[in-house]
Protein backbone atom coordinates (compact mmCIF):
# COMPACT_ATOMS: atom_id res chain seq x y z
CA UNK A 1 0.00 0.00 0.00
CA UNK A 2 1.20 3.50 -0.82
CA UNK A 3 1.17 6.32 1.72
CA UNK A 4 -0.05 9.65 0.37
CA UNK A 5 0.92 12.96 1.99
CA UNK A 6 -0.65 15.18 3.12
CA UNK A 7 -4.24 14.29 3.90
CA UNK A 8 -5.84 17.13 5.75
CA UNK A 9 -9.34 15.68 5.84
CA UNK A 10 -10.54 12.07 5.98
CA UNK A 11 -14.06 11.70 4.60
CA UNK A 12 -15.76 8.55 5.87
CA UNK A 13 -18.80 6.88 4.41
CA UNK A 14 -21.28 5.87 7.11
CA UNK A 15 -23.31 2.70 6.52
CA UNK A 16 -21.07 -0.35 6.54
CA UNK A 17 -17.96 1.77 6.99
CA UNK A 18 -18.02 3.73 10.25
CA UNK A 19 -21.19 2.13 11.60
CA UNK A 20 -21.99 -1.55 11.03
CA UNK A 21 -25.57 -0.68 10.15
CA UNK A 22 -26.18 -2.42 6.85
CA UNK A 23 -27.52 -5.75 8.11
CA UNK A 24 -29.78 -4.09 10.69
CA UNK A 25 -31.23 -1.71 8.10
CA UNK A 26 -31.47 -4.29 5.32
CA UNK A 27 -33.28 -6.82 7.52
CA UNK A 28 -35.80 -4.12 8.34
CA UNK A 29 -36.16 -3.19 4.65
CA UNK A 30 -36.52 -6.84 3.66
CA UNK A 31 -39.36 -7.37 6.13
CA UNK A 32 -41.12 -4.25 4.86
CA UNK A 33 -40.64 -5.44 1.28
CA UNK A 34 -42.38 -8.72 2.13
CA UNK A 35 -45.41 -6.65 3.16
CA UNK A 36 -45.12 -4.43 0.09
CA UNK A 37 -45.28 -7.34 -2.36
CA UNK A 38 -48.53 -8.47 -0.76
CA UNK A 39 -49.99 -5.01 -1.39
CA UNK A 40 -48.40 -4.61 -4.84
CA UNK A 41 -47.82 -7.97 -6.61
CA UNK A 42 -45.28 -8.43 -9.38
CA UNK A 43 -42.04 -7.82 -7.51
CA UNK A 44 -38.88 -9.83 -8.06
CA UNK A 45 -38.30 -12.12 -5.07
CA UNK A 46 -35.11 -12.05 -2.98
CA UNK A 47 -34.32 -14.16 0.05
CA UNK A 48 -32.58 -12.28 2.85
CA UNK A 49 -28.94 -13.13 1.95
CA UNK A 50 -29.49 -12.10 -1.68
CA UNK A 51 -31.35 -8.97 -0.59
CA UNK A 52 -28.37 -7.96 1.56
CA UNK A 53 -25.89 -8.79 -1.22
CA UNK A 54 -27.75 -6.87 -3.93
CA UNK A 55 -29.00 -3.84 -2.02
CA UNK A 56 -26.34 -2.94 0.56
CA UNK A 57 -25.65 0.77 0.28
CA UNK A 58 -28.69 1.52 -1.88
CA UNK A 59 -31.58 3.81 -0.87
CA UNK A 60 -35.00 2.19 -0.55
CA UNK A 61 -36.35 4.14 -3.53
CA UNK A 62 -33.73 2.46 -5.71
CA UNK A 63 -34.49 -0.93 -4.14
CA UNK A 64 -38.17 -0.56 -5.00
CA UNK A 65 -37.25 0.41 -8.55
CA UNK A 66 -35.16 -2.72 -8.99
CA UNK A 67 -37.55 -5.24 -7.45
CA UNK A 68 -40.44 -3.85 -9.52
CA UNK A 69 -38.41 -3.40 -12.72
CA UNK A 70 -40.23 -6.29 -14.44
CA UNK A 71 -43.66 -5.75 -12.86
CA UNK A 72 -46.65 -5.27 -15.21
CA UNK A 73 -47.43 -1.94 -13.56
CA UNK A 74 -45.01 0.58 -12.06
CA UNK A 75 -45.55 1.79 -8.52
CA UNK A 76 -47.23 5.18 -8.27
CA UNK A 77 -44.99 8.00 -7.03
CA UNK A 78 -47.30 8.59 -4.05
CA UNK A 79 -46.91 4.94 -3.01
CA UNK A 80 -43.13 5.11 -3.45
CA UNK A 81 -42.90 8.19 -1.26
CA UNK A 82 -45.07 6.57 1.41
CA UNK A 83 -42.99 3.39 1.42
CA UNK A 84 -39.68 5.28 1.50
CA UNK A 85 -40.86 7.17 4.58
CA UNK A 86 -42.07 3.94 6.18
CA UNK A 87 -38.73 2.25 5.55
CA UNK A 88 -36.92 5.23 7.06
CA UNK A 89 -39.04 5.17 10.22
CA UNK A 90 -38.66 1.42 10.70
CA UNK A 91 -34.93 1.47 10.04
CA UNK A 92 -34.37 4.27 12.54
CA UNK A 93 -36.38 2.39 15.18
CA UNK A 94 -34.03 -0.59 14.80
CA UNK A 95 -30.81 1.35 14.29
CA UNK A 96 -31.37 3.54 17.34
CA UNK A 97 -31.10 0.34 19.40
CA UNK A 98 -28.85 -2.00 17.41
CA UNK A 99 -26.37 0.19 15.50
CA UNK A 100 -22.76 -0.50 16.48
CA UNK A 101 -19.45 0.93 15.27
CA UNK A 102 -17.43 -1.21 12.90
CA UNK A 103 -14.58 -3.02 14.62
CA UNK A 104 -11.71 -0.73 15.53
CA UNK A 105 -13.38 2.47 14.35
CA UNK A 106 -13.60 4.26 17.74
CA UNK A 107 -9.87 3.74 18.30
CA UNK A 108 -9.07 5.06 14.82
CA UNK A 109 -11.21 8.16 15.34
CA UNK A 110 -9.52 8.71 18.70
CA UNK A 111 -6.10 8.53 17.06
CA UNK A 112 -7.14 10.96 14.33
CA UNK A 113 -8.21 13.38 17.06
CA UNK A 114 -4.88 12.93 18.86
CA UNK A 115 -2.99 13.61 15.62
CA UNK A 116 -5.08 16.67 14.80
CA UNK A 117 -6.30 15.15 11.53
CA UNK A 118 -9.72 16.49 10.61
CA UNK A 119 -12.40 14.04 9.52
CA UNK A 120 -16.08 14.05 8.60
CA UNK A 121 -18.96 11.80 7.64
CA UNK A 122 -20.28 11.83 4.06
CA UNK A 123 -23.36 9.69 3.42
CA UNK A 124 -26.46 9.11 1.31
CA UNK A 125 -28.50 8.55 4.48
CA UNK A 126 -30.71 11.24 5.99
CA UNK A 127 -29.41 13.34 8.87
CA UNK A 128 -32.11 11.87 11.08
CA UNK A 129 -30.91 8.35 10.34
CA UNK A 130 -27.25 9.29 10.72
CA UNK A 131 -27.79 10.94 14.09
CA UNK A 132 -29.72 7.91 15.37
CA UNK A 133 -26.87 5.61 14.33
CA UNK A 134 -24.12 7.82 15.71
CA UNK A 135 -25.92 8.14 19.02
CA UNK A 136 -26.51 4.38 19.33
CA UNK A 137 -22.92 3.57 18.38
CA UNK A 138 -21.56 6.30 20.69
CA UNK A 139 -19.70 8.05 17.87
CA UNK A 140 -21.55 11.37 17.89
CA UNK A 141 -18.88 13.06 20.00
CA UNK A 142 -16.26 12.40 17.33
CA UNK A 143 -18.15 13.91 14.41
CA UNK A 144 -20.15 16.75 15.96
CA UNK A 145 -21.56 18.86 13.13
CA UNK A 146 -19.17 17.40 10.54
CA UNK A 147 -21.92 15.17 9.16
CA UNK A 148 -23.02 15.60 5.54
CA UNK A 149 -26.06 13.96 3.97
CA UNK A 150 -26.81 13.71 0.25
CA UNK A 151 -30.48 13.55 1.26
CA UNK A 152 -30.61 16.63 3.51
CA UNK A 153 -27.45 18.74 3.37
CA UNK A 154 -27.61 19.69 -0.31
CA UNK A 155 -30.03 22.20 -1.85
CA UNK A 156 -31.32 19.36 -4.06
CA UNK A 157 -31.03 15.65 -3.24
CA UNK A 158 -28.05 14.32 -5.24
CA UNK A 159 -27.01 10.91 -3.89
CA UNK A 160 -23.85 8.98 -4.53
CA UNK A 161 -22.59 7.95 -7.13
CA UNK A 162 -22.96 11.65 -7.97
CA UNK A 163 -20.06 13.67 -6.49
CA UNK A 164 -22.09 16.50 -4.97
CA UNK A 165 -22.04 15.47 -1.31
CA UNK A 166 -18.26 15.00 -1.33
CA UNK A 167 -17.72 18.36 -3.00
CA UNK A 168 -20.11 20.03 -0.57
CA UNK A 169 -18.38 18.48 2.45
CA UNK A 170 -14.96 19.65 1.26
CA UNK A 171 -16.32 23.14 0.66
CA UNK A 172 -17.92 23.35 4.11
CA UNK A 173 -14.69 22.16 5.72
CA UNK A 174 -12.60 24.66 3.72
CA UNK A 175 -10.60 21.71 2.43
CA UNK A 176 -9.06 21.26 -0.98
CA UNK A 177 -10.38 18.11 -2.63
CA UNK A 178 -6.76 17.33 -3.49
CA UNK A 179 -6.02 17.04 0.25
CA UNK A 180 -8.86 14.61 1.02
CA UNK A 181 -9.00 10.86 1.45
CA UNK A 182 -12.28 8.95 1.14
CA UNK A 183 -13.08 5.69 2.93
CA UNK A 184 -15.87 3.72 1.24
CA UNK A 185 -17.37 0.23 1.24
CA UNK A 186 -19.70 0.48 -1.77
CA UNK A 187 -19.33 0.86 -5.52
CA UNK A 188 -21.63 3.89 -5.61
CA UNK A 189 -19.58 5.56 -2.88
CA UNK A 190 -16.30 4.90 -4.66
CA UNK A 191 -17.72 6.26 -7.92
CA UNK A 192 -18.87 9.37 -6.07
CA UNK A 193 -15.40 9.96 -4.64
CA UNK A 194 -13.78 9.36 -8.04
CA UNK A 195 -16.16 11.81 -9.70
CA UNK A 196 -15.37 14.39 -7.00
CA UNK A 197 -11.68 14.15 -7.87
CA UNK A 198 -10.54 12.80 -4.51
CA UNK A 199 -6.97 11.60 -5.10
CA UNK A 200 -6.94 8.70 -2.64
CA UNK A 201 -9.87 6.37 -2.04
CA UNK A 202 -9.63 3.53 0.47
CA UNK A 203 -11.98 0.59 0.10
CA UNK A 204 -13.20 -0.95 3.36
CA UNK A 205 -14.42 -4.55 3.44
CA UNK A 206 -14.64 -5.16 7.18
CA UNK A 207 -18.40 -4.70 7.61
CA UNK A 208 -20.47 -7.72 8.64
CA UNK A 209 -22.68 -7.35 5.54
CA UNK A 210 -19.74 -8.61 3.47
CA UNK A 211 -19.33 -12.35 4.02
CA UNK A 212 -16.00 -14.16 3.85
CA UNK A 213 -17.08 -15.77 0.57
CA UNK A 214 -17.92 -12.37 -0.93
CA UNK A 215 -14.88 -10.48 0.34
CA UNK A 216 -12.43 -11.28 -2.47
CA UNK A 217 -15.03 -10.41 -5.10
CA UNK A 218 -15.82 -7.17 -3.30
CA UNK A 219 -12.13 -6.25 -3.24
CA UNK A 220 -11.91 -6.77 -7.02
CA UNK A 221 -15.07 -4.77 -7.68
CA UNK A 222 -13.93 -1.88 -5.50
CA UNK A 223 -10.55 -1.83 -7.21
CA UNK A 224 -12.25 -1.75 -10.60
CA UNK A 225 -14.43 1.15 -9.40
CA UNK A 226 -11.36 3.20 -8.51
CA UNK A 227 -10.06 2.53 -4.99
CA UNK A 228 -6.33 2.84 -4.49
CA UNK A 229 -6.10 0.25 -1.72
CA UNK A 230 -8.41 -1.99 0.30
CA UNK A 231 -8.42 -2.59 4.05
CA UNK A 232 -10.21 -5.23 6.11
CA UNK A 233 -9.49 -3.64 9.50
CA UNK A 234 -10.11 0.04 10.14
CA UNK A 235 -6.79 0.21 11.99
CA UNK A 236 -5.05 -0.34 8.63
CA UNK A 237 -6.09 3.18 7.68
CA UNK A 238 -3.68 4.86 10.10
CA UNK A 239 -0.41 3.94 8.31
CA UNK A 240 -1.83 5.43 5.10
CA UNK A 241 -2.19 8.92 6.54
Number of neighbours of residue 48 by Cβ within 10 angstroms: 13
**CA angle, corner 107, sides to 105 and 109, nearest 5?**
70
**CA angle, corner 207, sides to 204 and 211, nearest 5?**
105
Residue 213: the pLDDT is 86
Q: pLDDT tens across 130-178, in order? A: 999 999 999 999 999 999 999 999 999 899 999 999 999 999 999 999 9
Residue 134: the pLDDT is 97
Is residue 154 located within the same domain as residue 218?
yes
Alpha carbon 30 to chain centroid distance?
18
Is residue 119 located within the same domain as residue 214?
yes
Q: pLDDT tens across 167-225, in order? A: 999 999 999 999 999 999 999 999 999 999 999 999 999 998 888 888 999 999 999 99
Domain containing residue 134: 9-20+100-240
Q: How confident is the model at residue 82 (pLDDT cuts 50, 70, 90)?
A: very high
Please identify, among 53, 71, 98, the residue that sits at the C-terminal boundary of a domain: 98
Residue 7: the pLDDT is 53
Is residue 152 located within the same domain as residue 130?
yes
Is 63 among the domain residues? yes
The tally of domains found in the chain comes to 2
Q: What share of the chain is helix, strand, coil (3-state, %, to 5)?
A: 50, 10, 35
Is residue 58 located within the same domain as residue 128?
no
Distance (Å, rounded) from C-alpha 203 to C-alpha 182?
8
Is residue 65 located within the same domain as residue 125?
no
Q: How confident is the model at residue 57 (pLDDT cuts 50, 70, 90)?
A: confident
Task: Decide the pairing of beta strands 229-231 and 147-149.
Answer: unpaired
Please identify, among 98, 121, 139, the residue that sits at the C-terminal boundary of a domain: 98
Is residue 90 located within the same domain as residue 159?
no
Contact 22, 57 (CB under 8 A): yes
Question: pTM to 2 decimals?
Answer: 0.89
Contact 168, 146 (CB under 8 A): no
Is 3 among the domain residues? no
Average pLDDT value over all residues in the chain: 93
SS (H, E, C) 78-103: HHHHHHHHHHHHHHHHHHHHHCCECC
Q: pLDDT tens across 90-126, in order? A: 999 999 999 999 999 999 999 999 999 999 999 999 9
Q: pLDDT tens across 3-12, in order? A: 545 558 999 9
The mean-pLDDT minimum among 57-61, 199-203, 226-230 falls in 57-61
Side by side, which strands form the sheet with 147-149?
Answer: 147-149, 118-123, 9-12, 180-184, 200-204, 229-231
Q: Which residues contact residue 187 at a Cβ distance below 8 angstroms, ignoring those fewer than 6 apart?
A: 57, 161, 221, 222, 225
Q: pLDDT tens across 6-34, in order? A: 558 999 999 999 999 989 999 999 999 99
Amino acid sequence: MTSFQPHKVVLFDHDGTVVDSEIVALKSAWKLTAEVVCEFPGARHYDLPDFIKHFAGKPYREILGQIYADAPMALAEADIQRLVLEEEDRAIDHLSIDAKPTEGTPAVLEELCDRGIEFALVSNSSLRRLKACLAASELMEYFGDRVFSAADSLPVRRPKPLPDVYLYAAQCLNAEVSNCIAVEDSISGVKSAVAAGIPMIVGYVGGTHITEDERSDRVSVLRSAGVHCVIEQMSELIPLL
